[in-house]
Amino acid sequence: MDVRVGDVLEMKKNHPCGSRTFLVLRSGIDFRLQCSGCGREMMVPRVKIEKNIRKIRRPEGENGHA
Ligand SMILES: [Zn+2]
Q: Report how far residue 66's alpha carbon sits from residue 19's, in angstroms, rounded to the nearest whole number.
A: 18
How many A from CA of 18 to the centre of ligand 1?
Answer: 6
Residue 44: inside a domain, yes or no? yes
Q: Is residue 66 part of a domain?
A: no
Read off the pLDDT band of 63 (50, 70, 90): low
Q: Does a structural domain hold residue 15?
A: yes
Q: How far is the CA of 3 from the centre of ligand 1 (A)?
A: 20
Instruction: Kindly give the distance from the C-alpha atom of residue 47 to the centroid of ligand 1, in angstroms, as a whole number.
Output: 20
For residue 59, give the amino acid letter.
P
Four-residue CA torsion sign, 12, 14, 18, 22: negative
Nearest of 56, 17, 24 to residue 41 by alpha carbon: 24
CA of 35 to the centre of ligand 1 (A): 5
- Kindly state whether residue 65 falls inside one of the protein's structural domains: no
Query: Is the residue at 53 inside a domain?
Result: yes
**pLDDT, tens only, 16-39:** 999 999 999 999 999 999 999 999
In a domain, 17, yes or no: yes
Find the domain containing 34 and state its range. 8-57
The model's pTM is: 0.85
Total number of domains constituting the chain: 1
- Indicate whether 2 belongs to any domain: no
